[in-house]
């Protein structure tokens, strides 16, 4: 919609035709697929118009501003046999694929917790808070690594600069079997930080996305309790300090891989790895985070049909797996 940007892009790619009205693109008969990379509030109306016009559609994260909107988009795509993909970029990145491979091979043992930080100064968004802007990356990676939906979530934060738009948030996701993940998101941090620690019972991984070459480091460290002891003197934790190593990763541009995958799915009539349902799961978590934020960090549990607010006491925060609904 910004004519200066349209001119700039058309200058870089002279074969492209630039338009400022999305409807012209949506109505074009020679266009098979549309990518929607606009502010979050416009994802739903643009994606809906695109799908209703029979176009395969690729939507930026987060897919929409509510789970109802996501469900409607999924329904239109399914009824019309169209590919609906959502940009969860990091699931196409080589380091995240490597981490998932290591976890699935059982090298880390049981995953105990994941801690993720995505911090920097700006870029302030006006239509969504920092959790909706930055945490989708962390949430999509964490769900992919753990392979399941959380049973509950809580989120705390504050709006310091723009009223009502939180610029700092701390989110916790609780999974079955006492596993949990914490996500810190900020637009108010002096340093740019993009890191994730995955703590397993046998090994641990530190993933620093800002490193050029050594993005993943695997630590062969753990702590064991003695299997049994008779006196307090016999009780000793055993700390294991082994080597740390850096697996080789073939760098590829995730967005390029993802775009190619979208095109392949259209050609083969298959569902994308990051489809509308994954977009919906992520938006359900963000909605629950917003409800928790409004309730000063009270936990929100997930039920089958919709999220249910629960004000559990902190010490009673043991979430039964049967409460889960993905
Ligand atoms: N996956 C990632 O790594 C990643 C990174 C950055 C941004 N994003 C996502 O990309 C989207 C855009 O973010 P951005 O930082 O590029 O925003 P931006 O504001 O820089 O750019 C948005 C573009 O959309 C256009 N636009 C605005 N309203 C429109 C409308 N109603 N119809 C058509 N065009 C419209 C604007 O003219 C502008 O060119 C957001 O959903 C954001 O979450 C994803």
- Whether 247 and 214 have beta carbons less than 8 Å apart is answered as no
Residues 95-151 have pLDDT tens digits of 999 999 999 999 999 999 999 999 999 899 888 999 999 999 999 999 999 999 999
Q: How far apart are CA 317 and CA 158, in angstroms?
A: 23
- Cα Rg of the chain, angstroms: 22
Residues 51-64 have pLDDT tens digits of 999 999 999 999 99
Q: What is the dihedral of CA 96, 185, 64, 90, to 10 degrees?
A: -10
Q: Is 60 in the pocket of ligand 1 (CB under 6 A)?
A: yes
Residue predicted with more confidence, 247 or 310? 247
Instruction: Work out the pLDDT band at 318, boundaries 50, 70, 90.
Output: very low
What's the rounded mean pLDDT across residues 78-107? Answer: 97
Name beta bridge partners: 181. 114, 173
Nearest atom within ligand 1 for CA of residue 128: 43
Closest-CA residue, ligand 1 atom 10, reads: 37
Give residue 51's pLDDT. Answer: 98
Other CB atoms closer than 10 Å to residue 189's CB: what's the count?
A: 17
User: What is the pTM assigned to this prediction?
Assistant: 0.92
pLDDT at 326 exceeding the cut of 80: no
Q: Is 89 in the pocket of ligand 1 (CB under 6 A)?
A: yes
Percent of the chain with pLDDT over 70: 93
Kindly give the distance from the C-alpha atom of residue 62 to the centroid of ligand 1, in angstroms, as a whole number: 11
Give residue 321's pLDDT. Answer: 39
pLDDT at 319 exceeding the cut of 50: no
Task: Say which DSSP state 200 is in.
Answer: E
Residues 3-22 have pLDDT tens digits of 999 999 999 999 999 999 99
Closest-CA residue, ligand 1 atom 36, reads: 1
Q: Is 49 in the pocket of ligand 1 (CB under 6 A)?
A: no
């Amino acid at each position: 919609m910004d004519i200066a940007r349209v001119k700039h892009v058309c200058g870089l790619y002279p074969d492209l035709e630039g338009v400022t009205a999305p409807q012209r693109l949506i109505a074009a008969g020679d266009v098979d697929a549309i990518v929607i990379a606009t502010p979050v509030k416009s994802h739903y109306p643009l994606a809906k118009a695109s799908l209703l016009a029979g176009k395969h559609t690729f939507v930026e994260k987060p897919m929409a501003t509510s789970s109802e909107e996501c469900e409607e988009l999924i329904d239109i795509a399914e009824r019309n046999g169209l590919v609906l993909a959502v940009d969860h970029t990091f699931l196409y990145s080589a380091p995240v694929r490597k981490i998932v491979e290591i976890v699935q091979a059982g090298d880390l043992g049981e995953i105990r917790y994941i801690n993720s930080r995505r911090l920097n100064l700006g870029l302030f968004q006006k239509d969504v808070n920092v959790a909706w802007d930055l945490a989708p990356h962390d949430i999509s990676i964490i769900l992919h690594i753990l392979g399941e939906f959380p049973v509950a979530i809580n989120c705390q934060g504050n709006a310091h600069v723009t009223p009502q738009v939180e610029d700092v948030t701390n989110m916790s996701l609780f999974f079955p079997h006492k596993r949990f993940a914490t996500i810190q998101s900020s637009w108010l941090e002096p340093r740019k930080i993009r890191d994730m620690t995955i703590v397993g019972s046998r090994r641990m991984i530190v993933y620093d996305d800002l490193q050029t070459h050594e993005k993943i480091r695997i630590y062969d460290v753990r702590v064991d309790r003695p299997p049994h002891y008779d006196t307090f003197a016999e009780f000793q934790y055993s700390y294991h300090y082994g080597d740390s190593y850096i697996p080789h990763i073939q760098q590829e541009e995730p967005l390029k891989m993802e775009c190619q995958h979208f095109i392949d799915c259209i050609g083969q009539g298959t569902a994308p790895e990051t489809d509308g349902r994954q977009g919906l799961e992520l938006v359900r978590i963000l909605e629950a985070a917003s409800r928790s934020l409004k309730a000063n960090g009270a936990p929100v549990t997930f039920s089958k049909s919709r999220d249910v607010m629960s004000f559990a006491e902190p010490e009673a925060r043991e979430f039964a797996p049967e409460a889960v609904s993905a």
